[in-house]
Structure 1
Amino acid sequence: MRAVICRAPGELALEERPEPERGEGEVLVRVRRMGICGTDFHIYEGSHPYLQYPRIMGHELSGEVLEAPGGSPLAPGDTVIVNPYVSCGTCIACRAGKPNCCVQIAVLGVHRDGGMCETIAVPERNLYPAGSLTLDQAACIEFLAIGAHAVARSGLGGGARTLVIGAGPIGLGTALFAGLAGGDVSIMDREADRLAFALKSRIAARGIGVGDGSAELLRQATEGDGFDVVFDATGSRASMESAFGHVAHGGTLVLVSVVAETIAFSDPEFHKREMTVLGSRNALRADFERVVAAIETGRVPLDHLLTHRTSLAGALADLPRWAGQKSGLVKALVEIG
C-alpha cells in the first residue's frame, strides 16, 4: 500500500508499505478521507512533544470496511468513522468509562502509525457506523467531537456567557457546540480572518481580536462580570494562564488544548472566584454520536469548514505549504483511493 511517512521534522515521503495484517478483534479498513489537523502540522514542524519518528500521521479518518471479525456487526463495504484513541480497556480510566484518558492510550498518527495511507487495522470498538453521512462528513467527526466533549464537560447551560479563546478548528468546534448548548458565544483570536469566518458562519455571536482594546471588548461582552464559561483552545501557555482572568466569579475554565509545560495561576484570584478548572482530553463515543446527530440535522456548517483538499501524493507539497500559509484554511481533507 502507499503511505505518506514523516521521516523526520520537515521531511515527508510517499512510500510503499506492506498491507497491515488484521489482528484479533480488529477490522481492516480502506482509508478514504483524512482530515489534516494542527497535530499533523506540529509533527511535520517537529514541535509535537509526544512523538517518535518516523511516523505515518493522520487521526481524523473515515473509510470502508474491508474485512471484519466473525460475528461483527460491521460488514465489508460499510462506511465507518474512526475513533483514533486506542485504549487498553483495563486501566482505572477505562474501568470508569473514560477510555479517552486511558493510562496507556495510543492515538493513531501520534503514538502509533495513523491513517495517511491506503489501509489500516483498527480495533472494532474504535469504529462507528457512519449511517447517512458522506465520507467527507465522517472524517470531520473526530475534531468536532473534541469540542463537543469540552462543552459536555463544562456543564454549560442556556444563556451562559461563553468565551472561546482560539479560532482554529478545535476552537471553532467548541464554539459551535457551545452555541448549540445555548451559550452566548464570543470567540477571541489573533487572526482577523478566523474571527470573520466564525461570525460569517454564525458559529459565534461576536469576535474579539487579541491586542490593544481587547480587554475593553471582553469587559463590554459581560458588562464587566466576566464569562460564565471560558474555553482555551490555543495551545499557548501564556493564553491558558491569562484565561483565568476572564472567568466570572463562580464560573468555569476548561483547558481544551495541551502544552508540554507547567502553567501557573494566582491562587487568590482562583479562590475568590470559587472557580472550577477542568481539563478536557479527546472525546467519548457519546460525543461522536452527538456530532453525528448535529450534522444529520443540518446544524454544522461543514460546507464552510471544509476549505481545502488534496490527494495522498499531493500532500507531499500541500501539507508543508499549508503549515506556513494558513490564511483561509480551516479544515483540509486528503482524499485517498
Structure 2
Amino acid sequence: MKALYFTADKMMELRDIAVPVPKKGQYLIQVKVCGICGSDFEGYMGKTGRRTPPMIMGHEFAGVITEAPEGGKFKKGESVVVFPKPFCGTCEYCKKGLVNVCTSGICMGVLSADGAMCEYVAIDEKYLIPFSPEKLPYDIASMTEPLSVAYRAVYKISDEELQASDHIVVIGAGTIGLLVTAMLSYRKAKHIIVSDTQEFRLETAKKMGAHTVVNPASGDFEEAIKKATDGKKCDFAIEAVGISATAESSLDALKIGGTAIWIGNAQKIVSINMQKIVTTELSVRGSYVYDFDGFKKCVELLQNKVIDVSSMITDTYKLQDGVAAFKALENNTDGKMLKVMLEV
C-alpha cells in the first residue's frame, strides 16, 4: 500500500509498504480521507518535537471496513470514523471517563506511533464509530476529531457559566479556533469575539458564528477587546494557538475573576504574567483532546448537519500528492489553506 512518511524536518516521502495484518479482534480499515492537522504541520516543520521520524502522521480520518473479525460488532462495508487516541479502559483515569489522559495511550500519528496518512490501518473494535456516508461525506466525517477538541474545550464552560457570560473571546482562528467558535454559536453564547492576524480566517470566523473579530496586528489587542465589550472585557478566553504571546493575550482579554481555557499546545513552555493571574484572581483551565462520549456526539452533530464545517475545507490532495500538500502549506502565509484533506 501507499503511505506518506515524515522522514525529517520539512521532508515527506511516499513509500510502498505492506498492508497491515489485523491482530485477533481487529478490523482492517481502508482510509478514505485523512486531514492534515495543524500539529502535523508543526511537527513537519520541526517546531514541536512531537513527531519522531520516520513515521506516518495522521489522526483525523474516516474510512470503510474491508475486513471484519468473526463475531465482530461491525461488518465489512460499513463506514466508520476512528477514535485515534488509544486507551486501556481500566486505569483510574479511564474509569472516570478521562480516556484522553490514559497513561497507556498515545495518539495515532504522534511521536513514533504511525497514523492514517496511508491506504489501510488495523484498528480495535472499541475505537470505531459507524456513520452513513449518504448523510455524512468522508471529508466532513474526518472533521470529527478536530471538532471533538473544540467540543471538550467549550464544554469546560458549564451551562450556568455560559448563561452568566456576556463576552467570550477565541484566540486564534485556525481549525480548532474556528470550530470552538462554531461550538460556542451552537451553545448560543451571547457575544463571541475571535482574534487572529489573518483577515481570511477572521472572515471565515464570521461564517462560523463570530459576532466580532479583532486583528491584533492592526492595533493594541487589549484596547480592541475593551472597545468590543464596552470596557467590561471577557468572562472567558479560549486560547487555540499555544505560544507565549497568545497565552498572554488570553489573560489580557479577561475581566477580574475571568477564566482562560487553554487548548493550544504548540510551545511546551510559555511565559505569562503571574501577577496578573494572582492579583485579578484569574483561572486557567487546560483542555486536552477529547473523551469518547464527546467524540461520538461530534459524529452525530456533523451527520445531523447541526454544525456546518464545509467552509473550512479549503484544499484536497490525493494521498500520492501528499508531499506537495505539505510543501504548499509551507507557503501558506495568508492562511487561505485552512483545512487540507488527503483523499486516499
* Cross-structure match for 2:23: 23
Report the Cα distance in structure 1 between the residues aligned to 2:232 and 2:199, rounded to whole angstroms. Answer: 25
1:75-114 equivalences under 5 Å are 75-111=75-111, 112-114=113-115
Structure 1 runs not aligned, ≥5 long: none
Q: Which amino acid aligns with 1:116?
A: M
Alpha-carbon offset, residue 59 of structure 1: 0.7
Aligned with residue 168 of structure 1, among 171, 174, 180 = 174
Are 2:242 and 2:267, in contact at CA under 8 Å, matched by a contact in 1?
no
Aligned with residue 151 of structure 2, among 148, 156, 167 = 148
Report the Cα distance in structure 2 between the residues aligned to 1:25 and 1:157, rounded to whole angstroms. Answer: 43
* Cross-structure match for 1:244: 251
1:134-145 equivalences under 5 Å are 134-145=137-148
Are 2:172 and 2:241, in contact at CA under 8 Å, matched by a contact in 1?
yes
What whole-Å deviation, never above 9, does each CA across 1:248-270 have from its counterpart, x for those lacking one? 22322100011443334444432
1:37-76 equivalences under 5 Å are 37-76=37-76
* Cross-structure match for 2:285: 278
What whole-Å deviation, never above 9, does each CA across 1:73-98 have from its counterpart, x for those lacking one? 21111100111111233333222211
Aligned with residue 334 of structure 1, among 334, 337, 342 = 342
**Alignment RMSD (CA, Å):** 1.8
Report the Cα distance in structure 2 between the residues aligned to 1:68 and 1:176, rounded to whole angstroms. Answer: 36
Q: Does 1:225 pair with 2:232? A: yes
* Cross-structure match for 2:136: 133
Are 2:179 and 2:208, in contact at CA under 8 Å, matched by a contact in 1?
no
Alpha-carbon offset, residue 308 of structure 1: 0.5
What whole-Å deviation, never above 9, does each CA across 1:108-149 have from its counterpart, x for those lacking one? 111310001000012211111123322122111101111111
1:17–1:40 Cα change, 3 Å: same
Question: Normalising by the residue count of structure 2, what TM-score does the alignment of the two structures yield?
Answer: 0.92
Alpha-carbon offset, residue 202 of structure 1: 4.0
Alpha-carbon offset, residue 33 of structure 1: 0.3
1:271–1:43 Cα change, 3 Å: closer
Alpha-carbon offset, residue 324 of structure 1: 2.2
Name the stretch that deviates more: 258-267 or 142-151. Answer: 258-267
**Identical pairs, percent:** 28
Give the secondary-structure state (helix, strand or coil) at the position aligned to 1:308: strand
How many residues align structurally? 335
Report the Cα distance in structure 2 between the residues aligned to 1:141 and 1:264, rounded to whole angstroms. Answer: 32
Q: Which amino acid aligns with 1:127?
A: L
Report the Cα distance in structure 2 between the residues aligned to 1:105 and 1:154, rounded to whole angstroms. Answer: 26
Name the stretch that deviates more: 168-177 or 120-129. Answer: 120-129
Report the Cα distance in structure 1 between the residues aligned to 2:88 and 2:51, rounded to whole angstroms. Answer: 19
Report the Cα distance in structure 1 between the residues aligned to 2:332 and 2:276, rounded to whole angstroms. Answer: 39
Q: Which amino acid aligns with 1:176?
A: A
Give the secondary-structure state (helix, strand or coil) at the position aligned to 2:173: coil
1:31–1:165 Cα change, 3 Å: same
* Cross-structure match for 2:327: 320
1:229-308 equivalences under 5 Å are 229-308=236-315
Q: Does 1:157 pair with 2:162? A: yes
Are 1:49 and 1:260, in contact at CA under 8 Å, matched by a contact in 2?
no
Structure 2 runs not aligned, ≥5 long: none
Q: Which amino acid aligns with 1:335?
A: E
Name the stretch that deviates more: 277-286 or 233-242. Answer: 233-242
1:202–1:109 Cα change, 3 Å: closer
* Cross-structure match for 1:33: 33
Are 1:150 and 1:256, in contact at CA under 8 Å, matched by a contact in 2?
yes
Report the Cα distance in structure 1 between the residues aligned to 2:163 and 2:267, rounded to whole angstroms. Answer: 34
Alpha-carbon offset, residue 163 of structure 1: 0.3
Q: Which amino acid aligns with 2:53?
A: Y
Report the Cα distance in structure 2 between the residues aligned to 1:162 and 1:227, rounded to whole angstroms. Answer: 5
